[in-house]
Structures are given as C-alpha cells and as structure tokens.
Chain A
Amino acid sequence: MNPTTFFIFTTLLKIVGIVFVVILPMVSYAVYAERKVSALIQDRLGPNRVGPAGLFQPIADAMKFLLKEDFTPAHVNKFYYWLAPCLAMVPAITTIAVVPFGSTLFGVPMVIADINVGVLFVFAIASLGVYGIVIGGWASNSKYPFLGGVRSTSQMISYELSLGLAVIPIFLLIGNLRLTEVVQYQIDHGWMIVPFAGDWRNPLAWLLAIPMWISFAVFAIAVFAETNRLPFDLPEAETELVGGYHTEYSSMKFALFFLGEYAAMITGSAIIVTLFLGGWHFPGIPDGSHGWIFGLINIFVFFAKIVVLLFIFIWVRFTLPRFRYDQLMRLGWVFFFEIALVNIFCVAAILAFHAPPFPKHGLQADESDHGIPGGKMGPAVA
C-alpha cells in the first residue's frame, strides 16, 4: 500500500473509530452516568427500568429524541434556528482531532492530526462553540433564549482569556505547542501537576509545582465555564431562564444542544488530561512500540482518566449552587484573569533560575534571518 493511501485510510479509520465508536457512545453514557451518579449523591435509585441497572436507558432516550415531534415555533428565524444545534455539536467534536488519545498502535500514531499549533487549534475551535448558543438564543426570537444567548457570549469570551493564560506556563516550560510533544515531555519529566517527578533533588522543580497547580485549577475551572456546567451554567440556568438558549427547542434539535454540552465536557476533559495529567501515560506502562497490547492499554488509560474527570464534573454539578451573573463576571475578570497573569510571571521567574529542559529545540534565535527584505521568512531555527 502506498504511504498516501495508507495515511488516508488510517486517518479515516481513526476519525470514525474515535468519533463514532468512542466519543458518541461516551456522550450518551455520560448522560446515563450523570443520572446514576446524581442518584447516588442524592440518595435515589436513578434509571433502572430499561435493561439491567438501566443500562439501555441511553438507547431509549435516543429513540425518544428521534421519535418526538420536531416542533418549530412559528415566530423563529427558521434557517438560523436549524443551524444553531449543528453549530453547538460540531466544534465540540472537532477539537478531539488534535488530541493524542494513545501512543501508537501497529506503528500508527494515535492522533488524528498532529499539527504544531495543537492547543491553539483547540482554543480556536472551542471559541466557535459559542456561535451555536448565541444563534440559538437569537433565532428563537424569544426572551429567555435571548437572555441566555447574551449571557453565554460574555461568559465564554471572559473565560477564554483565563483558559488561554492558564496554559502559557506549560508552554514556557516545554517550548512547543504540539500536543504530542506535551505528552512526551510529561513522560520524560513527570506530569504537569508533579513537575518534580523527573528531577527529585532540584528544589526549583518542587517550587514549580505551585504555579502548575494554580494553572491546573484555573484551567479546569475555566473549562467548567466554557462547557456551561454548574456552577457556571448561566446560559441555560433552568431556575431563572427556564431553559436559557434552548427553551424553544424540542426533539432532536434539543438533543443536539444537550449532547453537544456533554461532548464539550468530554473534549474539555481530554484537553485537561493531555495538558496536565500526562495524556495516555501511566507510570510503569510502556508505549505502543513495545507491542500492540500496550498501545491498547495506553488508549484505555487515556479514556479512564477522562472518565475520572467526568465524574468530577458531575460531582460538582450536584453539589454547588450557581453563581450570579455579576459574580461570575467578577470572578472571571478580577480573580482568574489576574491569578493566571501573575502565575505566568512566577513560572518565568522560576524558569530563569531552573534551566528549562528543552535543549533539543534550542532557544537561540538566528539574528541574521530577521530582516525580511524580499518577503522571505526562512526558518529562524537552524
């Protein structure tokens, strides 16, 4: 098989495998897990009618969503009303493209697109997710959805800043935006939340753990806000805005919004795992080059970490009350934004003393390349 055909074939296989075999079933079972875990928290039983322990409940739910009347209210802006649910679902799933979900399997790297701006790609696509909500709120031509849409616009933009600033310490440390490199660095030098694991004797490496934890906390909280989960679920705030941006939606269109939220939760967890929790790495388990069974175990480890994070998402939702809109804004702009900025300075200060372990890329710039007279911008790194 020639390399191009092989590449296209394996990429298609990865896309279909990851989206239809892993993510989408995971989304529907995340709903089931949410109901079961909330039942556990609230001293109830949860779904237990369909199949053993209610395990077929997601299938029944899907049937219900598909078969219910797809009602389009007369006062909506039809085209955008139809477009919004698609825009809510697509970005959530697209972000998974750059996330390395395993090491290698039969020599094929377990990442769909290994581009050099991986994390920026994630932010860019995630920032498009707001369109689904805003357009849904606007096209419904109704007051509660409108308020939900307005809330979500400002909320998402505010928390994107903290999200972006929180990861900068990582890239100060690694010097590369490629997510596979991030995972490789963590394998070599310890996960981001334990940056001292590779260098036990160095006190500066221990000191580095503090800003890394702050980064982790800010990033995780911003992911909560970006995915509209409690305590930041103001765009849909059931007790205030009825259903927020999806008040006027029914049937499968509502389901797309609903599942889009869970898909965003899963991809958000995947990003947290990749950036802070070592990706598919688990101490003591070799990567896929030592045999396909290890490749499979790596993939399993990655998704197991996601499941743990999903549990935390659900746990938080059923524990905390919601913030008020102004409190949310103040928290985002006055607290998280500042703390992330200060954090960057701290990491930079620590790295000034603690020789950053990225010699293989070289930090020295080639000064001769900087004039661009002929519009030519060659590689700055020799």
Chain B
Amino acid sequence: MPSFLFWLFAGVMLIFGALVIINRNPIASALSLVVCFLGLAALFMSLDAFFIGIIQVLVYAGAVMVLFLFIIMLLDLRAEERRTMNWVAFTGGFVVAVSLLVQILAVISRTQMAKQTFPPLASPQTDDVRNVGLLLFGHYNLPFQVIGVLILVATVGVIVLSKRQLR
C-alpha cells in the first residue's frame, strides 16, 4: 500500500484519539472516537483485511458508538463542561502514562522481533470472510459458543438488575 496512506490514516487516528481525551464535550469525544475507528478500519483495509475493517466500522462505529451517543445525549452535558480540572488526578495520570510509555519503549528496543522486517502478507486474493468463518466455527467452535453463552448471561443479568432497580 502506498505509505502516504498509512501515515495519513495513522495521523488521523492519533489526532482524533487525542481529541477523545481533550474534548470537554462528551458528544465531541464520542464522535472523535468514531473517526478514530474509521481510521483504524482504513488501516485494516489497506492490509487487505477487508472483513476486519468492515466489521470495525459496522460494530464499533455503527452500533456501539451510536448507543454511546444515545446514552450521552440523555445526560446533562453542562455538568461535564462546568467541571474544573483536578490537578492531582491530572498529574497522577500524566506520570502513569509517561512511565508506561518509557517502559514500552524500553521493552521494544531490546527485543529482536522489533528489528526484523515483516514478510509480505499473503496474496490479496484470499477470501478472509471464509477464513474467519471456518476458523471461528471449526477450530474455535467451543470457545466461540462459550463466549456467546457468557454474553447472553451478561445481557440477562443487566436486564434483571435494571428491572429490580425500577421496582
């Protein structure tokens, strides 16, 4: 893929990722996150992983973030905008983030894997939907079903909890 596209989308992701945190308005943050997801999807697609890219848009940008927006819209946004900055929390978070970054850089600089160049990816003619499907429902069928049941249980739990609170 043309490398300028990589830099373009990576830049978009970084900028909007930062905007998610910087924006005081939750709606603006949520929308920045959507753009961030779109950039990520574009990166996947440039690796010929159309399926993952599209699912990224469909699930995260199209469904999850819409639900987030739905919830945020019902909140009192002014309260968030009025809130003043807590300097203790800010410096604490800053220290944690910087130390994490230093740690990651240190680890990466020592591993051998980071130095080698990746081999070119498989030919773009592969049908990745079929591959994902066969892998998911063939080799990983049991874990997949278990996760499905877990999510079902979680959903039922949420409904039970919220209904109890209503009464």
A and B associate: yes
Task: Point out the residues of chain B lying under 8 angstroms from A176, CB to CB.
Answer: 127
A120 to B63, CA, bound (A): 14
Please tell me if A144 contacts chain B, counting CB pairs below 8 Å.
no
Decide: A379 and B123 in contact? CB cutoff 8 A. yes
Q: Which residue of A lies closest to B70 (CB)?
A: A153
Please tell me if A22 contacts chain B, counting CB pairs below 8 Å.
no
Which of the residues A127, A149, A361, A377 comes within 8 Å of B61, measured between beta carbons? A127
Decide: B69 and A153 in contact? CB cutoff 8 A. yes
| A150-178 at interface with B (beta carbon < 8 Å) | 150, 153-154, 156-157, 160, 175-177
Which of the residues A117, A128, A138, A379 comes within 8 Å of B27, measured between beta carbons? A138
Task: Point out the residues of chain B lying under 8 angstroms from A130, CB to CB.
Answer: 62, 66
Please tell me if B8 contacts chain A, counting CB pairs below 8 Å.
no
Secondary structure of the A contact surface, majority rule: helix
Task: Point out the residues of chain B lying under 8 angstroms from A149, CB to CB.
Answer: 73
Task: Point out the residues of chain A lying under 8 angstroms from B63, CB to CB.
Answer: 127, 157, 160
Task: Point out the residues of chain B lying under 8 angstroms from A120, CB to CB.
Answer: 51, 54-55, 58, 129
Contact with B along A357-378 (1 / 0, CB 8 A): 0000100010100100000111
Decide: B127 and A116 in contact? CB cutoff 8 A. yes
Task: Point out the residues of chain B lying under 8 angstroms from A131, CB to CB.
Answer: 31, 34, 66, 69
User: How many residues from B make CB contacts under 8 Å with A?
Assistant: 31
Decide: B27 and A80 in contact? CB cutoff 8 A. yes
Which of the residues A128, A156, A370, A378 comes within 8 Å of B139, measured between beta carbons? A370
B105 CB to closest chain A CB (Å) equals 22
Please tell me if A196 contacts chain B, counting CB pairs below 8 Å.
no
Decide: B134 and A160 in contact? CB cutoff 8 A. no
B155 CB to closest chain A CB (Å) equals 13
Decide: B122 and A378 in contact? CB cutoff 8 A. yes
| B63-108 at interface with A (beta carbon < 8 Å) | 63, 66-67, 69-70, 73-74
Task: Point out the residues of chain A lying under 8 angstroms from B66, CB to CB.
Answer: 127, 130-131, 134, 153, 156-157
User: How many residues from A make CB contacts under 8 Å with B?
Assistant: 37
Task: Point out the residues of chain B lying under 8 angstroms from A379, CB to CB.
Answer: 122-123, 125-127, 131
Task: Point out the residues of chain B lying under 8 angstroms from A156, CB to CB.
Answer: 66
B5 CB to closest chain A CB (Å) equals 15
Task: Point out the residues of chain B lying under 8 angstroms from A80, CB to CB.
Answer: 27, 31
| B107-142 at interface with A (beta carbon < 8 Å) | 122-123, 125-131, 134-135, 138-139
Which of the residues A121, A370, A378, A380 comes within 8 Å of B130, measured between beta carbons? A380
Contact with A along B26-63 (1 / 0, CB 8 A): 01000100100000000000000011001101100111
A-B pairs with the 6 shortest C-beta distances? A127-B62, A124-B57, A124-B58, A370-B139, A379-B126, A365-B134
